[in-house]
Structures are given as C-alpha cells and as structure tokens.
Structure 1
Amino acid sequence: MSLHAALPFCLASTLLVAQAPAQPEGAAPARLIQEIGTRSELMANLEALCDDIGPRLTGSPSLRKAQAWAMAKLRAYGATNVHEETYDLGRPWHRGVAQARLLNANGLSLDVAQVGWTEGTKGVLRADVALLNVKTLAEFRAQAPRLAGKVVLVLSRPRAANEGREDVKAYEAELAKAWREARIALALLPSRKDYGLQDMAGGPSFFYQARAAFITREHANLLQRLVARGLTPRVEAELGGGFGHTRVQASNVVADLPGTDHPEEVVILGAHQDSWDLGSGATDNGTGTVVALEVLRALHAANLRPRRTLRVVLFSGEEQDLLGSRAYVARHAADLSKIQAVLIEDSGSGRISGFPDMKVEAWYAPLVAALAPAKSLGATEVPYGIIGGSDQTAFFERGIPAFAPIQDPLDYASHTQHSQVDAFDHVVKEDLVQGAQVMAVTAWGLLQCERLPHQAPKAEP
C-alpha cells in the first residue's frame, strides 16, 4: 500500500442548514453543483467586468471601479465583513503612445508595447539595431561596449540560474548596474506568442526599469533576418508610458461567509482582480474573479452554512510579482495558523480535472476526499506535483495548504494571457461553469473536514 493510500481521508461532511435537519452525506456538494449549473451568474458577471469596466491595471481608476463593483456583488450575495485591505504600491504606472518603424529595409511599422513599470523614451529616438544573445554576466559585460546607444533585440540575457548563483537578488542588482552602465537606447523583448500577439510583464521589482518594449515575434524575426543578411536595421521609436507623481495605496477585496463551528478558521477562495491592459482581462483573471463570487453566491443561495468561514479574497498586484497576496500574508502574519487552506484559480476558463497535492503527503488524502463529489464533473486527478506562479505561492511559501487547479489549457498560454486578445470571446461558458462547480465542491470539503497540517515555512514573509 502506498503512503497515499495509508493516509486517513477527510471526515464525512455534515450539512448544516438553518432550522433544518441534517442532510444525507453528499447532499451539500450536489446542491452546489445544481445551483451553479442552473442559476449561475458567471457569464453575466464576467461580461460586466470585461465589457463595462475593462482592463484593470493595479493602481488604476478602472481597478478601483472593479473593486467597488465586486464589493457590491459580494454584499448582495450574502457576504459579511466586506472590506478592502490596503498596501503601499508606490507610484502608479500608466501606458502611453508606443510606436516604432524601420527607417531602412522595407520601412515597416513595428508592433511594440511598452513594458509595464518602465520609464518611456521621453521623445522619439533613432538608432541602429543590435542583437543580444548571452548567458552570463561576463559575456554581457564583454559585449556591452557595442550596445551603447543601440536598439537591442534581447534574444537572451544573463540569469543567476545560468551561473549556478543562489543569491538571485544580488545577481540581479549586479546585472542591473551593468545594464545601466551599457547605456542601451531601447530594449526590445520578443513576444512568446505567434500570430502577431503581444506579450506583457513588469512591476516595481522587474529587471527592466526604463526604455523597454515587447515586440511581436514576427517582427523580431524580421530584424534577425536582416542582421543575418548583413544589413543593420535602423529603427525610430517612441514610448510614452510612465509614472504618476505621487505614491498610492493598492487594495485587496476581502469578504466572509461565516462558519458555524469554527468561524475563526478560514478557507480562502481567491483570484487576482487586476489585469494587464492590452485586452480586457477576461481569462487573466476575470474568470477566476467571477468563479470566486459564484461559489460564495451558490453557498448562500443554497442556504449552506459550513463549519469554517469561507473567505473570498480578490487580490491586486498579482501581475507585479504577487504584491497583493504577499501584502495579505504580511498583514495577517499572526493569524496564518487559522487558515485551513487556500484555493486560487488563475489559468483561464478551461475545465478543471483536479488539483496537485503540492508534493505534501499529508495533504493528499484530504484533498482527494474534498474533490470526490466532483467525480461526476470529470475532476478526479490529485497528482504528485506543484502548481505555482499565482497568489497561492505567497501562502505555500509559508507552509499553508494552498492549491491551484489543473485546467484544460485551451488557448490561454498560447493566445490570451497578457495579450491584446484576452477578451470575453475566448471564454467557454460550459467549461467555466464546470470549473466553478469543482471549486465549490472542493472548497466545501475543505471547509468541513479535519484540520490540514501546515508545513515549515519555505521563505520569510
């Protein structure tokens, strides 16, 4: 018998309904599945979030509007203690003009988008193009003299992992200093996507701090072909994005559906409400946002009262290296032991097939039991593995059981994520409903079962 099979399973959940007798085992998950399947408000909410409010850059008025909308929805859905928790964002960033064109060869206009949280060009610049393809800091320093004043197409750059360095922050500081001293006129970063789709990244701690833009893969390939043929491309470019003059506070939205037996213990159901601004943020992460709202709505509508408190947290600053979730962990440092588990959805609208156990043996069996009522929905997988990259990471680093679902990829990574086509059109309704049902059933199981053990913290808060 494997260690997985030997672990005790989650205790059977008991349905607690006000002024009603206990329901048969499994009744609560079935009612949640039915409620979401027949009366879901997922698509209506997503359409309002994307088409009425739109892109939700952290620190922007549109995100503030979206957060007010979400708090009104949560109150209408029966949540209590609906409030915002703030943290210091620094100077907010705004987008501006972004344009570039070849001054020789075919004279084509180049599709560029300024990297977030970078200073712009402060006017039009004209410069020759050079290619950068290095792996180590020493290689970069050797090539730096030829990069001064150039538009540099960054095919690869030095990284701490390339040199076996564990002091990543110190390494990045060294590289940033060398980059500044190289006096590069403009960095162009090829998009990771095909078909003319853009890419986006950036935040206060991002490596590129000034004069950097993403360029579509096809146009990056054009520049490389010209260089390979012996022609030095010359580019004219202007980036007008920049920073506000004063520091601002950013916020997370927090709301509770109180538990009956252990209201001080919480299962956090979360998503990041912020988005990049090339599209309307439908799949990244409007879908996760409306799923969190829907699960709370369904619990309240079905008159289900869990043993523990369900806490919905809509984070901001996820796209800037988990600023909101890290701020939440820091703010609630004294209460982290009261978190039963964290569930975060952040991979588009694809159907959910299960959750990895985060390579923690003690979490496997409770997770299997919580997910069991979702078998009819096709969600049965609890593999040995880790999903990171979103707000669950901030909690997992502190040893808290924190899970993200395994989802059908659809066109999320290849097309919609961080691109200009992150729009309502790419959301599959039937899959989104199934995902909300699986999240609701899993959350219910974790709200009802025995306490999950915490692990030793993997990082300091």
Structure 2
Amino acid sequence: MIKKVTLFSFLFFSFFLVSAQTQQEMVEKIVNEAENNSQLEKIAHELLDVVGPRLVGTPQMKNAHDWAVKKYSNWDISARNEEWGKWKGWERGITHIDLVSPRIQSLEGRQLAWSPSTGKKPLTAEVVILPEAKDSLDFLEKIKSVKGKFVLVSMPEQTGRPDENWEEWATEETFEKMKSERDSLNSLWDEKMKKTGHSRRELPKALENAGAAGIISSYWSKGFGVNKVFSAYTEKIPTIDLSLEDYGLLYRLAEYGDKPEIRVTAESKELGEVPTFNTIAEIKGTEKPEEYVILSAHFDSWDGATGATDNGTGTIVMMETMRILKKLYPNPKRTILVGHWGSEEQGLNGSRAFVKDHPEIVENVQALFNQDNGTGRVVNISGNGFLNAYDYLGDWLYEVPDNVSKHIETNFPGTPGRGGSDYASFVAAGAPAFNLSSLSWNYWNYTWHTNRDTYDKIVFDEVRNNVILTAVLAYMASEDPETTSREKIKLPKSKRSGEQMSWPEARDAERAGMLDD
C-alpha cells in the first residue's frame, strides 16, 4: 500500500513539474513572438490609415468587418461577420469650410456624423449668434431672425489653453480669476439655453424648422486643438463642428457686428437601412470545445478622426493575440473566440446582441478579457463581483511576466461593472468577464471621441505589453483544469439611496438604430 501511494505521489509530482515547465515555455514563446515578430504596426496601419474611421451604419464600418475576416483568414483562423441588426446608413464626404467675409480664411472643422448634405454646390450664408430671449415664448419670436443663416449654438470658450498650462505659467491670482470668469460664463450660457425652452438635442431641430441655413457647434475637449465630435440632430440642414479657435473667431466677428459669412461644402449620402455586424473569429478547442475563452474589443468608432485609441488599440491587441495563439497554441483545450463588436458607442449594442443571441456560448464562458480605454499599459483589473475570481484570475496573472504584471493593481472581488464597455454585457448575464483597464495617457482630453484620435497617438510598446498580458491570460484560462466559478458576491446597500443593490440585468441591443418605427 505504501509503494502504491509513493508511486502515485511521484507521478502526480512529475505531472505537475512537466505542466509547469510547459506553461513557462509557452509564456516565453509568447513574449518572444510579441516582442520580436510584432505585427501591431502593420495591423494598425491597415485598420486606421487605410480602412479609417468605423462609424456604425457607414460603408467604412462594413469595410472594416470585411478586412478583419480576410486578415484572420490569412492567419488560418476561422472568422465570420454576424449580422445582429439594422442602422441608418450614412456616408461622409468632403467637408470644407471657409470664412469669406470680412476676410478670407479656411477654417478647421467637419460635419458631424449623420449630418445632412449641402450637396456638391457650396452653401454661403451669414453667421449669427443664437438669439437671446427672455423666456421660451420670447424665443419663438426671436428665432425667426435665424432664417437663411448659420447659427452658433455653443458657448464661446474664454481660453483655448488647458488648465495645466495655466497652472504652469499663470500667477495663482490670474488662474483663479480665469476660473471664476469661466464659471460665470458657463452659468450665463446655461441660463440662456434654458430660456429657449429646448434641450441641446432639441435646439438644432427648432432652428432648422425656423429656416436656419445650418448649425455650427464646438465641443472643446479641454486640450490644445482638440474637440469632441459626435452626431448631428438635424434632418435637412448641415451641422458642422468647428475648432475652438475658429469658432471663437466667428463668434467675436458676429458679436462685434462684423457680419461674418462662411462658405460650406458638406457632402454626405444617406444610404437608407443597412445591416450592422459583429466580426467573430475562433480557434476551436480540442478537449472542451464547448467552453470559451473570449477576447473582446469594440470595433466601431466615432469618425472625427480614425478611432485609434478608441478602440483601434483594443482591436489590434485582440487581433495580434489571436495571431500569436494560432501560431504557438493552435490546439487549445477550450475554444478561444474573439468578438469585434459593432455599435458599442451607441450603447454596447453589438455585445448585447451577441449575449442575447448566443446563450449557449455565454453559459459556457470560462473567462472574457476586454480592452477598450486607450493606448496605455494595463494597470487595473477588477473581479467584477465574482466571489472567487481571485482564485483563478490570481493564478493566471501569476504566470504573466513580472515586467508586465508589476504595473497591475487588482481589486477582488470588486463590484459588477454596469456599463462603459462591452465586458459589462457579459457580466450582466453572469459570465466572468474582466476589463483590462489601461493607463490614461490623457485619453479623456486628447483622444476619447476627438478629432485627434489618430495612429500617431498609439504608444506601441505599451500595446505590446497588453498583447503579452492578454495572450498569457487567454492561454492560462484555456489550460486551467478547473471551470471558473460564477458565484457572485452579496451586494451591499447603496450609500446614496440606502436600498439593497442588485446585480445588473442583461439588456437587448438597439437593433434598429436611428430608424423610424
């Protein structure tokens, strides 16, 4: 009996050593491939410079999906575009904006997403400031003055310098004075908007109905030369966004009575109802093919720039990870699936649709790893309220090279994510999904949804760091002999309301985006 126990112990110990050695060798191979044969720059160039921005409902979004399927096919990875809904189709054309009076100057700006077109013939008109009114009834009378004119609907910024620039160079008194004046201007503008009787979304439509030639807005992002760029709310007249500097120029000219005129070309096409997709690729598992390790990144972007850090970087991390795993680990124990989700920017729609349409996959998720927020190295991972997440995620992170893992803070068990990125769609359905949250690199001011979110903002060494992390986590999750626990923490009472908090509920996608009923 003693000999049998000894033999069993020896075999078990030998198996453990071989397994640990195999894991270490695989991690070393992943690091070597990621660092010495990286395809990140090439993938990023093709996606960002050639395909370009990826606004839902545009031909460029469909081009991106088709490009990804072809790219995966080149790596011998099975991939498909999976339709989940419809969207209002639209295609951006040329935008050109010129000040033509009282002097000539080309202005920096662009039409907003889904803006109506001026047609191929430029539209020239005077620029006026949003009328001042005593109340909503008075505004109904004052708004008649905008007929045939471009209307400035945003508050002019007092300064185009970010606060950090003032902190570095201004005296304390000057800085405090500027902030006080800015607060006063914000309050006055909010009051002006309130007196129109319209929300910021409703106002452009009201001006359109009053006969305005077009809408001019400027949504400064609190950084040098950066604006947030979103969507238009007009149906017949163009809506353009101007840089802080050029918006301020037009505002001052109008305010001082110089009667500025601009000439605008804003070409675009409305394409009716178009299908919208997720791109799904997978490396089939050999031992547990019906269990899934999912790599997750939203594919769409706003189109003020090319969506480099939101979410080009997350996309190329997942694509490069799949390339490496297919090359080094072509026969995983569990199926490794990547989801490139559509229409995240309008409410996590692609991932919500996938969760709703594929319960058989969601029920068998071993782990999901999502990356979204910019070009920085991953510095935080939360257990998202899964009680035992530390037991398995901690083991997997232990195998990540120290120069990668040393930057990462963990929060176990954490609380369930309720939005913000696509991992939340899976958390709501009870699947163990984790967000690989990265260092800011001024993401919120300079690249998130801005006109400056371009290839040159990518820090490729940081992104390579994230590829190594993701590839090792995916490998370890696939190899783990245990199926991960889905047990949830007991949520506390809300400090704000005093009521018992509940787990977020899974929601379906918006499957007919911007389409009339």
Tell me whether 1:222 sits opposite 2:249 in the alignment.
yes
Q: Could you tell me how far apart the structure 2 residues matched to 1:141 and 1:397 are?
A: 45
**Correspondent of 2:47 among 25, 32, 49:** 49
Q: What does 1:59-458 correspond to in 2, within 5 Å?
A: 59-80=57-78, 82-102=79-99, 104=101, 108-121=105-118, 124=123, 126-131=125-130, 143=139, 145-148=141-144, 149=146, 151-155=150-154, 185-193=213-221, 194-202=223-231, 209=235, 211-226=238-253, 235-244=262-271, 246-303=272-329, 305-333=331-359, 335-358=361-384, 361-363=387-389, 366-374=392-400, 375-377=402-404, 378-383=406-411, 384=414, 386=417, 388-447=419-478, 448=480, 450-453=483-486, 456-458=503-505
Q: How many residues of Structure 1 are paired with residues of Structure 2 in the alignment? A: 422
- Offset of 1:255 from its aligned partner? 1.4
Query: Relative to structure 1, is the Cα distance of residues 237 and 424 closer, same or farther in structure 2, using a 3 angstrom cutoff?
Result: closer
The answer (yes or no) to whether the contact 1:58–1:316 under 8 Å persists in 2 is yes
The answer (yes or no) to whether the contact 1:54–1:62 under 8 Å persists in 2 is yes
What secondary structure is seen at the aligned counterpart in 2 of 1:98? strand
Q: Could you tell me how far apart the structure 1 residues matched to 2:126 and 2:436 are?
A: 46
Deviates most, 299-308 or 138-147: 138-147
Q: Could you tell me how far apart the structure 1 residues matched to 2:47 and 2:97 are?
A: 32
What secondary structure is seen at the aligned counterpart in 1 of 2:113? coil
RMSD: 3.9
What secondary structure is seen at the aligned counterpart in 2 of 1:349? coil
- Offset of 1:280 from its aligned partner? 4.1
The answer (yes or no) to whether the contact 1:371–1:380 under 8 Å persists in 2 is no
What secondary structure is seen at the aligned counterpart in 1 of 2:382? coil
- Offset of 1:95 from its aligned partner? 1.2
Query: Relative to structure 1, is the Cα distance of residues 436 and 220 closer, same or farther in structure 2, using a 3 angstrom cutoff?
Result: same
Larger radius of gyration: 2
Output one character per residue of 1:126-153: Cα deviation in whole Å (capped at 9) or x when no partner: 244224899xxx9767645434535343
Output one character per residue of 1:275-316: Cα deviation in whole Å (capped at 9) or x when no partner: 444544433333222211221222232236444321011223
Question: What letter is aligned with 2:31?
Answer: I
What secondary structure is seen at the aligned counterpart in 1 of 2:468? helix
Query: Relative to structure 1, is the Cα distance of residues 176 and 239 closer, same or farther in structure 2, using a 3 angstrom cutoff?
Result: closer
What secondary structure is seen at the aligned counterpart in 1 of 2:421? coil
Question: What letter is aligned with 1:45?
Answer: I
The answer (yes or no) to whether the contact 1:132–1:155 under 8 Å persists in 2 is no
- Offset of 1:425 from its aligned partner? 2.7
- Offset of 1:437 from its aligned partner? 0.8
Q: Could you tell me how far apart the structure 2 residues matched to 1:153 and 1:332 are?
A: 47
- Offset of 1:269 from its aligned partner? 0.7
The answer (yes or no) to whether the contact 2:365–2:431 under 8 Å persists in 1 is yes
- Offset of 1:240 from its aligned partner? 2.4
Q: Give the TM-score of the pair, scaled to structure 1.
A: 0.76
- Offset of 1:334 from its aligned partner? 5.4
Question: What letter is aligned with 2:86?
Answer: L
What secondary structure is seen at the aligned counterpart in 1 of 2:279? strand
Of all paired residues, the percent bearing the same amino acid is: 28
Query: Relative to structure 1, is the Cα distance of residues 237 and 40 closer, same or farther in structure 2, using a 3 angstrom cutoff?
Result: closer
Q: Could you tell me how far apart the structure 2 residues matched to 1:350 and 1:387 are?
A: 23
- Offset of 1:439 from its aligned partner? 1.6
- Offset of 1:340 from its aligned partner? 3.4
What secondary structure is seen at the aligned counterpart in 1 of 2:456? helix
Question: What letter is aligned with 1:112?
Answer: G
Gaps of 5+ in 2: 1-14, 156-189, 191-198, 489-502, 509-517
The answer (yes or no) to whether the contact 1:288–1:348 under 8 Å persists in 2 is yes
Query: Relative to structure 1, is the Cα distance of residues 42 and 68 closer, same or farther in structure 2, using a 3 angstrom cutoff?
Result: same
The answer (yes or no) to whether the contact 1:121–1:238 under 8 Å persists in 2 is yes
The answer (yes or no) to whether the contact 1:349–1:435 under 8 Å persists in 2 is no
- Offset of 1:217 from its aligned partner? 1.6
Q: Could you tell me how far apart the structure 2 residues matched to 1:72 and 1:370 are?
A: 31
- Offset of 1:182 from its aligned partner? 5.7
Gaps of 5+ in 1: 1-15, 157-161, 163-170
- Offset of 1:434 from its aligned partner? 0.5
Deviates most, 226-235 or 333-342: 226-235
Question: What letter is aligned with 1:376?
Answer: N
The answer (yes or no) to whether the contact 1:147–1:183 under 8 Å persists in 2 is no
Query: Relative to structure 1, is the Cα distance of residues 113 and 177 closer, same or farther in structure 2, using a 3 angstrom cutoff?
Result: closer
Question: What letter is aligned with 2:432?
Answer: P
